[in-house]
Amino acid sequence: MQSAAGISQENLKVISRYHKTEVEMLAEYEIILQAKTDPGKFSTLYDTYYEPIFRFVYQRMDDKEKAFDITSQVFLKALTNLHRYEFKGVPFASWLYRIARSEVYQQFRQNKASRTVNLESVHLNQLTEELEENNLEEYRVKMLKALKELEEEDITLVEMRFFEKRPFKEIGEILEITENNAKVKLYRVLDKLKRKLLKHKTVPDE
């Protein structure tokens, strides 16, 4: 089932696990402190974040089994390095996402492979609307082409905002930039996309 925003209910639930009130974040931090001395206590965090982290990893690759392997690696790394974790007023998930991101890229580097950007048509339509283009079908092919031409850093921002539906605050926390910086960067990418689309309007498809 899709929500009005074009994202499945399941994904909404998963993403909502990231958002925490201050009290929830601090309560989570208590669990982390306990897990630092008693690794068994980490199970609560594992249960909460397993699915979001898997989806984050799998979003960026094709191989489902590999995605499960990497998810396991992410949690092993998190548990092993938990003693270094310091609470900085942001959800614990942002730390896990950063580990996941690093693991995914390491995997690509090792295998000399390129990463995948998975998207649903509905997301593509929303992106097209964002660029104030009306003829969705006409622009679908052109949009895919334009997206492929983006730099990795740029597509990451588009992916997080439009395909994963993350708020700017969260994007900033995962990419370790400010919320405002995330906004500015994304709008620059959208400008870039617009220019590319214009270029593709004038250049016939091969």
If one asks whether residue 27 binds other proteins (CB under 8 A), the answer comes out as yes
Provide the minimum distance between the beta carbon of 54 and other proteins in the complex, in angstroms, as a whole number: 5
If one asks whether residue 144 binds other proteins (CB under 8 A), the answer comes out as yes
Specify the residue, 79 or 136, whose C-beta has the smaller distance to other proteins: 79
Burial of 137 per CB tally in 10 Å (0-12, 13-18, 19+): exposed
Specify the residue, 10 or 191, whose C-beta has the smaller distance to other proteins: 10
Buried b (16+ CB within 10 A) or exposed e, 90-119: bbbbbbbbbbbbebbeebeeeeeeeeebeb
> Which of these segments, 76-84, 92-100, 131-139, 190-198, binds other proteins (CB under 8 A)?
76-84
Specify the residue, 102 or 180, whose C-beta has the smaller distance to other proteins: 102
Nearest to 122 by CA among 35, 2, 206: 2
Nearest to 175 by CA among 122, 77, 101: 101
Provide the minimum distance between the beta carbon of 12 and other proteins in the complex, in angstroms, as a whole number: 12
| Neighbouring residues of 198: CB distance < 8 A, sequence distance ≥ 6 | none
Tokens linked to 57: 């990893």
SS3 136: helix
Please tell me the distance from the alpha carbon of residue 168 to that of residue 12, in angstroms, as a whole number: 16
Interaction residues for other proteins, span 83-102 (CB under 8 A): 87
Please tell me the distance from the alpha carbon of residue 202 to that of residue 115, in angstroms, as a whole number: 29
Interaction residues for other proteins, span 104-123 (CB under 8 A): 114-121
Please tell me the distance from the alpha carbon of residue 148 to that of residue 54, in angstroms, as a whole number: 24
# chain residues binding other proteins, by CB under 8 A: 49
If one asks whether residue 68 binds other proteins (CB under 8 A), the answer comes out as yes
If one asks whether residue 16 binds other proteins (CB under 8 A), the answer comes out as no
Specify the residue, 10 or 138, whose C-beta has the smaller distance to other proteins: 10
> Which of these segments, 31-39, 125-133, 184-192, 193-201, binds other proteins (CB under 8 A)?
31-39
Which positions touch other proteins (CB under 8 A)? 8, 10, 13-14, 23, 26-27, 29-31, 33-34, 39-40, 42-43, 46-47, 50-51, 54-55, 58, 62, 64, 68, 71-72, 75-76, 79-80, 87, 114-121, 124, 144, 147-149, 151-152, 155
